[in-house]
Chain A
């Protein structure tokens, strides 16, 4: 990007000093295990909302999905709506209060521990912790790859150096200060993200002649859609793709439903509800949470689509064609060419903030899953005299190293895919046990186990053998069966979440009804 490197380095240095300052503040306020793991169950509404939102929205959500909107159009706004409806309104007002109260009664400090204590099975805690230890580094690696790619481009440093610097900065404040440091830095980073995206929206609309003019121009450019996309169902950037077409299935099943609904069962987000002291804080958090998600996801999809106005007017080609059909390059290219230099500086900080805030929470959740749930409570069975902080710190270091190795060896184009895969797997594996555990008194330990295993295994199977987007590049199905996917036609387009999650829910209900209910006294004590 054409920015003054000295100025960028100076601003980034100030930004990092503030980040470390807030990390240090979190460390100084951390006195107990509960502070390190759960912010002392006393986080304020503003910090909670901004931290949740900043964790929710990663760089790939802005660049990857914004670029996807540039390719497929404003249909992705349904995802932004679901992000607000499900990720904020339902999560904070329906699931949050129940999770907060029950988590406290169960003395749970982590998502795996919540499930383990709810179903009176320490092995379930270890199992879920282990599942997160293996799958979450893949998601974290995608955030690291996106960040390192961007830092490499902006600062002109090698990929490996960018990767190590970024991971080290986040690791330092997460390891030292725990979740309090994560939440304070998240809140600061969220403010920068909000400012960056708000400026992007206002500047784009104003430079394109206003809302109506910008949208009308985009509608009139529909004939520029490349023929291969038209054949796949593309009807223009201000129209939904043709029903049942290839693009329609990709948008509706993978992106809108997969990511939109999948957000509920994200362990790094669900655990946040146990970090506030009362329901009033959750209600207050909604005030900042909704607008924040709109300003991140909604604006990325609107501006991503509108970027076509610029590229078609300037170069007589769509954004997707202009960048060589790599959707991840569209937003950075658009910002670089369309926006003034001062904005590029702000937007760069906004993207670094998005990456750091998501990575910080990922590191903390991976560390608690491995260090606390698997090692301390699984292997040592809680007998060690060392504090949970020690085990969590060990867990964070080990899982960050795993994520770093993955970020080094995985291809760059895995960013959006691995994000969707992680969210899909979490939804299918954990949603029935999590929601059932919160609201259904008849949910049994066996039902929870069955749903977790069926959801996880079905999800993996569908990714590897049926869903073409993953099965074809993975090549395992082709190697074993000679065919790229086991099923063809529409089935190969249906996201695993639409198969594995209903199956997991059915299994949870059926097995729970067939097995011995949990003790009445216990159920009464937690509901």
Chain B
């Protein structure tokens, strides 16, 4: 319930199935950036 209220406040979307998809999209894109930076100089 707290999560739903938080997401409605932050994103203006009530349906958890939608805000979860939204958060996962942004989160996975950001994860890619962090992963790429962290492993930039990895040995093969």
Tell whether B29 is near chain A: CB-to-CB under 8 Å.
yes
Asked if B31 and A238 sit within 8 Å, CB to CB, the answer is no
Asked if B11 and A211 sit within 8 Å, CB to CB, the answer is yes
Q: Given the complex, which residues of A lie within 8 Å of B37, measured CB to CB?
A: 287
Asked if A240 and B15 sit within 8 Å, CB to CB, the answer is yes
Tell whether A219 is near chain B: CB-to-CB under 8 Å.
yes
Q: Given the complex, which residues of A lie within 8 Å of B31, measured CB to CB?
A: 89, 290
Tell whether A10 is near chain B: CB-to-CB under 8 Å.
no
Asked if A81 and B25 sit within 8 Å, CB to CB, the answer is yes
Asked if A286 and B35 sit within 8 Å, CB to CB, the answer is yes
Of the candidates B11, B14, B28, the one whose C-beta lies within 8 Å of that of A85 is B28
> Bound complex: CA of A6 vs CA of B14, how far in Å?
46
Binds B, one of A173-181, A277-285, A393-401, A441-449: A277-285
Asked if B14 and A298 sit within 8 Å, CB to CB, the answer is no
Q: Given the complex, which residues of A lie within 8 Å of B43, measured CB to CB?
A: 280
In chain A, positions 229-243 with a C-beta closer than 8 Å to chain B are 235, 238-240
Asked if A75 and B29 sit within 8 Å, CB to CB, the answer is no
Q: Given the complex, which residues of A lie within 8 Å of B15, measured CB to CB?
A: 235, 238-240
A238 with B28, Cβ < 8 A, contacts A212-B12, A219-B12 known: no
Q: Which of A81, A89, A279, A284 has the most CB of B within 10 A?
A: A81
Asked if B32 and A89 sit within 8 Å, CB to CB, the answer is yes
Q: Given the complex, which residues of B lie within 8 Å of A81, measured CB to CB?
A: 21, 24-25, 28
Majority SS at the chain A contact face:
helix
Asked if A84 and B22 sit within 8 Å, CB to CB, the answer is no
- What is the count of residue pairs linking A and B with beta-carbon distances less than 8 angstroms? 106
Residue-by-residue, is B1-32 near A (CB-CB < 8 Å gives 1, otherwise 0)? 00000000111111101100110111011111
Asked if B25 and A287 sit within 8 Å, CB to CB, the answer is no
Q: Given the complex, which residues of A lie within 8 Å of B29, measured CB to CB?
A: 84, 290-291, 293-295, 298
Of the candidates A283, A287, A298, the one whose C-beta lies within 8 Å of that of B42 is A283
Nearest B residue to A243 via CB reads B17
> Bound complex: CA of A75 vs CA of B14, how far in Å?
13
The minimal Cβ–Cβ distance linking B6 to chain A, given in whole angstroms, is 12
A84 with B28, Cβ < 8 A, contacts A211-B12, A238-B13, A239-B14 known: yes
> Bound complex: CA of A114 vs CA of B18, how far in Å?
39
Q: Given the complex, which residues of B lie within 8 Å of A287, measured CB to CB?
A: 32-33, 35-37, 40
The minimal Cβ–Cβ distance linking B34 to chain A, given in whole angstroms, is 9
> Bound complex: CA of A235 vs CA of B25, how far in Å?
22
A215 with B32, Cβ < 8 A, contacts A81-B24, A280-B42 known: no
Of the candidates B18, B25, B44, the one whose C-beta lies within 8 Å of that of A294 is B25
Asked if B13 and A215 sit within 8 Å, CB to CB, the answer is yes
Of the candidates B21, B35, B36, B41, the one whose C-beta lies within 8 Å of that of A74 is B21
* 7 further interface pairs, Cβ-Cβ under 8 Å (given A75-B21, A239-B18, A287-B40): A219-B14, A238-B13, A238-B18, A239-B14, A240-B15, A287-B35, A288-B36
Chain B interface (Cβ < 8 Å from any Cβ of A): 9-15, 17-18, 21-22, 24-26, 28-33, 35-37, 39-44
29 example contacts (A-B, Cβ-Cβ < 8 A) are as follows A73-B18, A75-B18, A75-B21, A77-B25, A78-B21, A80-B25, A81-B21, A81-B28, A84-B25, A84-B29, A88-B32, A89-B28, A212-B9, A212-B11, A215-B11, A238-B12, A238-B14, A239-B15, A279-B44, A280-B39, A283-B42, A284-B36, A286-B32, A287-B35, A290-B28, A294-B25, A298-B25, A298-B26, A298-B29
- Closest 8 A-B residue pairs measured CB to CB? A287-B36, A290-B32, A215-B12, A294-B29, A77-B21, A212-B12, A216-B12, A240-B17
